[in-house]
A = this chain, B = another copy of it.
Protein backbone atom coordinates (compact mmCIF):
# COMPACT_ATOMS: atom_id res chain seq x y z
CA UNK A 1 0.00 0.00 0.00
CA UNK A 2 2.76 2.40 0.86
CA UNK A 3 4.84 4.07 -1.81
CA UNK A 4 5.93 1.39 -4.20
CA UNK A 5 8.81 1.77 -6.61
CA UNK A 6 10.37 4.64 -4.75
CA UNK A 7 12.90 5.15 -7.57
CA UNK A 8 13.38 8.88 -7.79
CA UNK A 9 11.66 10.37 -10.80
CA UNK A 10 14.24 10.43 -13.54
CA UNK A 11 14.10 13.59 -15.61
CA UNK A 12 13.11 13.07 -19.24
CA UNK A 13 15.96 12.45 -21.66
CA UNK A 14 17.25 15.42 -23.53
CA UNK A 15 18.77 15.65 -26.93
CA UNK A 16 22.29 15.56 -25.53
CA UNK A 17 21.57 12.20 -23.93
CA UNK A 18 20.43 10.78 -27.21
CA UNK A 19 23.45 12.23 -29.00
CA UNK A 20 25.84 10.70 -26.50
CA UNK A 21 24.20 7.31 -26.71
CA UNK A 22 24.19 7.33 -30.49
CA UNK A 23 27.72 8.67 -30.67
CA UNK A 24 26.80 11.71 -32.73
CA UNK A 25 26.34 15.43 -32.15
CA UNK A 26 23.13 17.06 -31.02
CA UNK A 27 22.76 18.67 -34.42
CA UNK A 28 22.65 15.28 -36.06
CA UNK A 29 19.98 14.07 -33.69
CA UNK A 30 17.88 17.12 -34.35
CA UNK A 31 18.30 16.70 -38.08
CA UNK A 32 17.47 13.05 -37.97
CA UNK A 33 14.18 13.86 -36.37
CA UNK A 34 13.35 16.86 -38.53
CA UNK A 35 14.62 15.76 -41.94
CA UNK A 36 15.54 12.06 -41.88
CA UNK A 37 16.63 12.19 -45.52
CA UNK A 38 19.68 14.33 -44.94
CA UNK A 39 21.50 11.93 -42.64
CA UNK A 40 23.09 8.69 -43.75
CA UNK A 41 21.10 5.54 -43.25
CA UNK A 42 23.58 4.14 -40.81
CA UNK A 43 23.50 7.22 -38.61
CA UNK A 44 19.77 7.48 -38.85
CA UNK A 45 19.33 3.98 -37.51
CA UNK A 46 21.68 4.54 -34.62
CA UNK A 47 19.94 7.79 -33.69
CA UNK A 48 16.46 6.36 -33.91
CA UNK A 49 17.51 3.44 -31.77
CA UNK A 50 18.90 5.82 -29.19
CA UNK A 51 15.69 7.82 -29.30
CA UNK A 52 13.73 4.70 -28.56
CA UNK A 53 16.06 3.55 -25.83
CA UNK A 54 15.90 6.84 -24.00
CA UNK A 55 12.25 7.34 -24.92
CA UNK A 56 13.21 10.81 -25.92
CA UNK A 57 10.67 13.46 -26.79
CA UNK A 58 11.79 16.96 -27.67
CA UNK A 59 11.08 19.55 -25.03
CA UNK A 60 8.34 21.67 -26.51
CA UNK A 61 9.18 24.82 -24.60
CA UNK A 62 12.73 24.75 -25.85
CA UNK A 63 11.70 24.13 -29.40
CA UNK A 64 9.03 26.78 -29.35
CA UNK A 65 11.42 29.27 -27.87
CA UNK A 66 13.88 28.59 -30.62
CA UNK A 67 11.53 28.58 -33.58
CA UNK A 68 9.34 31.33 -32.21
CA UNK A 69 6.15 29.36 -32.31
CA UNK A 70 3.75 28.38 -29.59
CA UNK A 71 1.86 25.57 -31.25
CA UNK A 72 -1.23 26.85 -29.53
CA UNK A 73 -4.39 28.10 -31.12
CA UNK A 74 -7.10 29.99 -29.38
CA UNK A 75 -10.65 28.90 -30.04
CA UNK A 76 -13.30 31.43 -29.14
CA UNK A 77 -16.59 29.69 -28.51
CA UNK A 78 -19.81 31.42 -27.43
CA UNK A 79 -20.75 28.64 -25.02
CA UNK A 80 -18.88 25.45 -24.47
CA UNK A 81 -21.82 23.81 -22.71
CA UNK A 82 -23.91 24.17 -25.83
CA UNK A 83 -23.90 20.78 -27.56
CA UNK A 84 -23.84 22.45 -30.93
CA UNK A 85 -20.43 23.90 -30.24
CA UNK A 86 -19.25 20.84 -28.40
CA UNK A 87 -19.35 18.86 -31.60
CA UNK A 88 -17.68 21.55 -33.64
CA UNK A 89 -14.98 21.57 -31.03
CA UNK A 90 -14.44 17.89 -31.52
CA UNK A 91 -13.84 18.39 -35.20
CA UNK A 92 -11.41 21.15 -34.43
CA UNK A 93 -9.64 19.15 -31.80
CA UNK A 94 -9.26 16.13 -34.06
CA UNK A 95 -7.58 18.12 -36.77
CA UNK A 96 -5.56 20.46 -34.66
CA UNK A 97 -4.19 17.97 -32.20
CA UNK A 98 -3.28 15.60 -34.99
CA UNK A 99 -1.11 18.39 -36.34
CA UNK A 100 0.49 18.86 -32.94
CA UNK A 101 -1.32 21.96 -31.88
CA UNK A 102 -2.78 22.50 -28.47
CA UNK A 103 -5.94 24.49 -28.14
CA UNK A 104 -6.94 27.04 -25.60
CA UNK A 105 -10.67 27.31 -25.41
CA UNK A 106 -11.97 30.77 -24.72
CA UNK A 107 -15.46 30.28 -23.42
CA UNK A 108 -17.23 33.54 -24.03
CA UNK A 109 -20.04 32.43 -21.76
CA UNK A 110 -17.65 32.84 -18.87
CA UNK A 111 -16.78 36.02 -16.97
CA UNK A 112 -15.79 38.93 -19.27
CA UNK A 113 -12.44 39.46 -17.57
CA UNK A 114 -11.40 36.06 -18.84
CA UNK A 115 -12.15 37.21 -22.32
CA UNK A 116 -9.77 40.10 -21.98
CA UNK A 117 -7.11 37.72 -20.74
CA UNK A 118 -7.52 35.66 -23.88
CA UNK A 119 -7.14 38.63 -26.15
CA UNK A 120 -4.05 39.68 -24.25
CA UNK A 121 -2.66 36.22 -24.64
CA UNK A 122 -2.99 36.41 -28.39
CA UNK A 123 -1.66 39.93 -28.58
CA UNK A 124 1.34 38.87 -26.54
CA UNK A 125 2.12 36.31 -29.19
CA UNK A 126 1.26 33.32 -27.06
CA UNK A 127 -0.88 31.77 -29.76
CA UNK A 128 -0.12 31.01 -33.38
CA UNK A 129 -3.67 31.41 -34.57
CA UNK A 130 -7.26 32.07 -33.64
CA UNK A 131 -10.42 30.25 -34.53
CA UNK A 132 -13.61 32.22 -34.08
CA UNK A 133 -16.87 30.41 -33.60
CA UNK A 134 -18.81 33.63 -33.43
CA UNK A 135 -19.31 36.81 -35.38
CA UNK A 136 -18.08 39.46 -33.09
CA UNK A 137 -14.49 38.68 -32.43
CA UNK A 138 -14.20 39.52 -28.80
CA UNK A 139 -16.76 42.18 -28.15
CA UNK A 140 -14.80 45.31 -27.37
CA UNK A 141 -11.35 44.04 -28.21
CA UNK A 142 -12.00 43.30 -31.85
CA UNK A 143 -9.48 45.75 -33.14
CA UNK A 144 -6.74 44.72 -30.75
CA UNK A 145 -7.09 41.17 -31.88
CA UNK A 146 -7.03 42.04 -35.52
CA UNK A 147 -4.01 44.24 -35.05
CA UNK A 148 -2.07 41.39 -33.55
CA UNK A 149 -1.73 40.10 -37.12
CA UNK A 150 -2.28 36.55 -36.02
CA UNK A 151 -3.85 34.14 -38.52
CA UNK A 152 -7.59 34.11 -38.04
CA UNK A 153 -10.32 31.81 -39.29
CA UNK A 154 -14.03 32.14 -38.68
CA UNK A 155 -16.62 29.41 -38.60
CA UNK A 156 -20.36 29.12 -38.10
CA UNK A 157 -21.23 32.74 -38.42
CA UNK A 158 -20.53 34.22 -41.82
CA UNK A 159 -19.44 37.83 -41.81
CA UNK A 160 -19.79 39.31 -45.30
CA UNK A 161 -16.66 41.17 -46.29
CA UNK A 162 -14.54 39.90 -43.43
CA UNK A 163 -10.81 39.95 -43.98
CA UNK A 164 -10.24 36.37 -42.98
CA UNK A 165 -11.40 33.00 -44.33
CA UNK A 166 -14.66 31.64 -43.08
CA UNK A 167 -16.14 28.19 -43.06
CA UNK A 168 -19.91 28.21 -42.94
CA UNK A 169 -23.09 26.78 -44.23
CA UNK A 170 -25.42 28.81 -46.39
CA UNK A 171 -27.62 30.13 -43.62
CA UNK A 172 -29.94 32.06 -45.87
CA UNK A 173 -30.42 29.12 -48.19
CA UNK A 174 -30.91 26.62 -45.38
CA UNK A 175 -33.46 28.80 -43.62
CA UNK A 176 -35.26 29.26 -46.92
CA UNK A 177 -35.34 25.53 -47.43
CA UNK A 178 -36.77 25.00 -43.96
CA UNK A 179 -39.58 27.43 -44.58
CA UNK A 180 -40.17 26.14 -48.09
CA UNK A 181 -40.77 22.75 -46.56
CA UNK A 182 -43.51 24.18 -44.38
CA UNK A 183 -45.03 25.98 -47.33
CA UNK A 184 -44.96 22.84 -49.41
CA UNK A 185 -46.87 21.09 -46.67
CA UNK A 186 -49.56 23.69 -47.13
CA UNK A 187 -48.86 26.16 -44.37
CA UNK A 188 -49.48 29.80 -45.07
CA UNK A 189 -49.36 31.23 -41.58
CA UNK A 190 -45.78 30.64 -40.51
CA UNK A 191 -44.14 32.23 -37.51
CA UNK A 192 -40.45 32.82 -37.01
CA UNK A 193 -38.74 32.50 -33.67
CA UNK A 194 -35.63 34.62 -33.99
CA UNK A 195 -32.14 34.49 -32.57
CA UNK A 196 -30.45 37.42 -30.85
CA UNK A 197 -30.82 40.53 -33.00
CA UNK A 198 -27.17 41.37 -32.81
CA UNK A 199 -25.94 38.32 -34.67
CA UNK A 200 -25.42 38.04 -38.38
CA UNK A 201 -26.61 34.48 -38.14
CA UNK A 202 -29.97 35.79 -37.08
CA UNK A 203 -30.22 38.27 -39.89
CA UNK A 204 -29.38 35.59 -42.40
CA UNK A 205 -31.92 33.12 -41.14
CA UNK A 206 -34.55 35.81 -41.01
CA UNK A 207 -33.65 36.69 -44.58
CA UNK A 208 -34.12 33.09 -45.65
CA UNK A 209 -37.49 33.04 -43.94
CA UNK A 210 -38.53 36.20 -45.76
CA UNK A 211 -37.33 34.95 -49.11
CA UNK A 212 -39.29 31.74 -48.83
CA UNK A 213 -42.48 33.60 -47.95
CA UNK A 214 -41.97 36.06 -50.71
CA UNK A 215 -41.35 33.53 -53.45
CA UNK A 216 -44.53 31.78 -52.38
CA UNK A 217 -46.43 35.02 -52.48
CA UNK A 218 -47.18 34.94 -48.78
CA UNK A 219 -47.23 38.32 -47.10
CA UNK A 220 -44.87 38.64 -44.16
CA UNK A 221 -46.68 39.57 -41.00
CA UNK A 222 -44.60 41.42 -38.45
CA UNK A 223 -46.56 39.99 -35.56
CA UNK A 224 -45.41 36.52 -36.54
CA UNK A 225 -41.78 37.31 -35.86
CA UNK A 226 -41.12 36.42 -32.26
CA UNK A 227 -38.08 37.51 -30.28
CA UNK A 228 -35.65 34.91 -29.01
CA UNK A 229 -31.99 34.56 -28.16
CA UNK A 230 -31.16 30.93 -28.89
CA UNK A 231 -31.91 29.78 -25.34
CA UNK A 232 -34.41 27.22 -24.17
CA UNK A 233 -35.98 29.86 -21.98
CA UNK A 234 -36.93 32.16 -24.80
CA UNK A 235 -38.40 29.15 -26.59
CA UNK A 236 -40.65 28.66 -23.60
CA UNK A 237 -41.64 32.30 -23.64
CA UNK A 238 -42.49 32.18 -27.30
CA UNK A 239 -44.54 29.07 -26.61
CA UNK A 240 -46.55 30.94 -24.01
CA UNK A 241 -47.10 33.80 -26.39
CA UNK A 242 -48.38 31.36 -28.96
CA UNK A 243 -50.78 29.80 -26.48
CA UNK A 244 -52.13 33.19 -25.63
CA UNK A 245 -53.23 33.77 -29.19
CA UNK A 246 -56.72 32.85 -30.21
CA UNK A 247 -56.81 29.82 -32.52
CA UNK A 248 -57.98 31.91 -35.47
CA UNK A 249 -54.89 34.07 -35.56
CA UNK A 250 -52.45 31.48 -34.32
CA UNK A 251 -49.94 30.37 -36.97
CA UNK A 252 -50.07 26.74 -38.00
CA UNK A 253 -46.33 26.44 -38.28
CA UNK A 254 -43.16 27.93 -36.88
CA UNK A 255 -39.57 28.07 -37.91
CA UNK A 256 -37.14 28.50 -35.03
CA UNK A 257 -33.68 29.91 -35.56
CA UNK A 258 -32.22 27.09 -33.50
CA UNK A 259 -33.16 23.74 -32.01
CA UNK A 260 -32.91 24.62 -28.36
CA UNK A 261 -35.61 27.25 -28.67
CA UNK A 262 -37.73 24.95 -30.80
CA UNK A 263 -37.58 22.30 -28.12
CA UNK A 264 -38.52 24.74 -25.38
CA UNK A 265 -41.39 25.97 -27.45
CA UNK A 266 -42.72 22.51 -28.22
CA UNK A 267 -42.60 21.49 -24.61
CA UNK A 268 -44.53 24.59 -23.63
CA UNK A 269 -47.25 24.41 -26.22
CA UNK A 270 -47.67 20.73 -25.48
CA UNK A 271 -48.28 21.49 -21.86
CA UNK A 272 -50.77 24.12 -22.98
CA UNK A 273 -52.77 21.59 -24.92
CA UNK A 274 -51.52 22.14 -28.45
CA UNK A 275 -50.31 19.11 -30.27
CA UNK A 276 -47.17 19.15 -32.38
CA UNK A 277 -47.24 18.67 -35.29
CA UNK A 278 -51.03 18.34 -35.57
CA UNK A 279 -51.83 21.84 -34.33
CA UNK A 280 -48.45 23.37 -34.91
CA UNK A 281 -45.64 22.26 -37.15
CA UNK A 282 -42.16 23.20 -36.00
CA UNK A 283 -38.84 23.26 -37.81
CA UNK A 284 -35.60 23.90 -35.97
CA UNK A 285 -32.07 24.71 -36.99
CA UNK A 286 -28.71 23.10 -36.12
CA UNK A 287 -29.48 19.43 -35.71
CA UNK A 288 -28.17 19.01 -32.19
CA UNK A 289 -28.27 15.44 -30.90
CA UNK A 290 -31.20 16.25 -28.72
CA UNK A 291 -33.35 17.16 -31.69
CA UNK A 292 -33.51 13.45 -32.30
CA UNK A 293 -34.29 12.55 -28.72
CA UNK A 294 -37.15 14.87 -27.96
CA UNK A 295 -40.84 14.24 -28.34
CA UNK A 296 -41.72 14.53 -31.16
CA UNK A 297 -38.39 14.31 -32.91
CA UNK A 298 -37.58 17.62 -34.48
CA UNK A 299 -37.55 18.36 -38.18
CA UNK A 300 -34.50 20.53 -38.51
CA UNK A 301 -31.63 21.78 -40.61
CA UNK A 302 -28.67 19.69 -39.65
CA UNK A 303 -25.34 21.36 -39.87
CA UNK A 304 -22.23 19.27 -40.53
CA UNK A 305 -20.75 20.23 -37.20
CA UNK A 306 -17.72 18.00 -37.10
CA UNK A 307 -16.75 18.83 -40.65
CA UNK A 308 -17.29 22.49 -39.96
CA UNK A 309 -14.77 22.30 -37.16
CA UNK A 310 -12.36 20.14 -39.08
CA UNK A 311 -12.39 22.35 -42.16
CA UNK A 312 -11.92 25.48 -40.15
CA UNK A 313 -8.98 23.93 -38.35
CA UNK A 314 -7.45 22.74 -41.60
CA UNK A 315 -7.78 26.19 -43.09
CA UNK A 316 -6.15 27.75 -40.07
CA UNK A 317 -3.26 25.33 -40.23
CA UNK A 318 -2.73 26.26 -43.85
CA UNK A 319 -2.72 29.89 -42.89
CA UNK A 320 -0.28 29.37 -40.04
CA UNK A 321 2.19 27.28 -41.96
CA UNK A 322 2.14 28.97 -45.33
CA UNK A 323 3.90 32.30 -45.39
CA UNK A 324 1.69 33.42 -48.24
CA UNK A 325 -1.35 34.67 -46.43
CA UNK A 326 -3.07 34.54 -49.78
CA UNK A 327 -4.70 31.21 -48.91
CA UNK A 328 -7.77 33.08 -47.80
CA UNK A 329 -10.68 31.20 -49.22
CA UNK A 330 -14.13 30.87 -47.82
CA UNK A 331 -15.70 27.45 -47.74
CA UNK A 332 -19.37 26.70 -47.78
CA UNK A 333 -20.43 23.36 -46.41
CA UNK A 334 -23.77 21.76 -47.18
CA UNK A 335 -26.47 21.61 -44.53
CA UNK A 336 -29.56 19.55 -45.10
CA UNK A 337 -33.10 19.41 -43.89
CA UNK A 338 -33.81 16.31 -41.81
CA UNK A 339 -37.48 15.42 -42.01
CA UNK A 340 -38.71 14.10 -38.71
CA UNK A 341 -41.92 14.13 -36.72
CA UNK A 342 -42.53 17.75 -35.82
CA UNK A 343 -44.04 18.77 -39.13
CA UNK A 344 -47.15 17.78 -41.06
CA UNK A 345 -49.77 19.49 -43.23
CA UNK A 346 -51.96 21.98 -41.40
CA UNK A 347 -55.19 20.54 -40.08
CA UNK A 348 -58.17 22.08 -41.82
CA UNK A 349 -60.24 23.84 -39.28
CA UNK A 350 -63.44 25.82 -39.22
CA UNK A 351 -62.92 29.54 -39.33
| A interface residues (Cβ-Cβ under 8 A, vs B) | 5, 9, 11-12, 55, 57, 59-62, 64-65, 70, 72, 80-81, 83, 86-87, 89-90, 93-94, 97-98, 102-105, 107, 109-111, 114, 117, 120, 123-126, 147, 149, 232, 263-264, 267, 270-271, 289-290, 293-295
Chain B hits for A124, CB < 8 A = 12, 55, 57
Are A293 and B264 CB-contacts (below 8 A) given A65-B65, A81-B90, A147-B5? yes
CA distance A87 to B79 in the complex (A): 10
CA distance A290 to B82 in the complex (A): 11
* Other-chain contact of A110, B72, B94, B117, B120 (Cβ < 8 Å): B94
Quick check: B60 and A70 within 8 Å, CB to CB?
Answer: yes
Chain B hits for A105, CB < 8 A = 93, 103, 105
Quick check: A295 and B295 within 8 Å, CB to CB?
Answer: yes
Quick check: A83 and B80 within 8 Å, CB to CB?
Answer: no
Quick check: A81 and B70 within 8 Å, CB to CB?
Answer: no
* Other-chain contact of A97, B61, B114, B263 (Cβ < 8 Å): B114
Are A65 and B55 CB-contacts (below 8 A) given A86-B80, A102-B104, A290-B290? no
A-B contact pairs, 10 of them (CB 8 A): A55-B124, A57-B125, A57-B126, A60-B126, A61-B62, A61-B65, A81-B90, A93-B105, A232-B293, A267-B295
CA distance A173 to B98 in the complex (A): 42
Quick check: A107 and B123 within 8 Å, CB to CB?
Answer: no
* Nearest CB of B to A52, in Å: 13
Are A107 and B93 CB-contacts (below 8 A) given A61-B65, A293-B263, A293-B267? yes
Are A81 and B80 CB-contacts (below 8 A) given A61-B70, A72-B102? no
Quick check: A59 and B55 within 8 Å, CB to CB?
Answer: no
CA distance A187 to B72 in the complex (A): 55
* Nearest CB of B to A328, in Å: 12
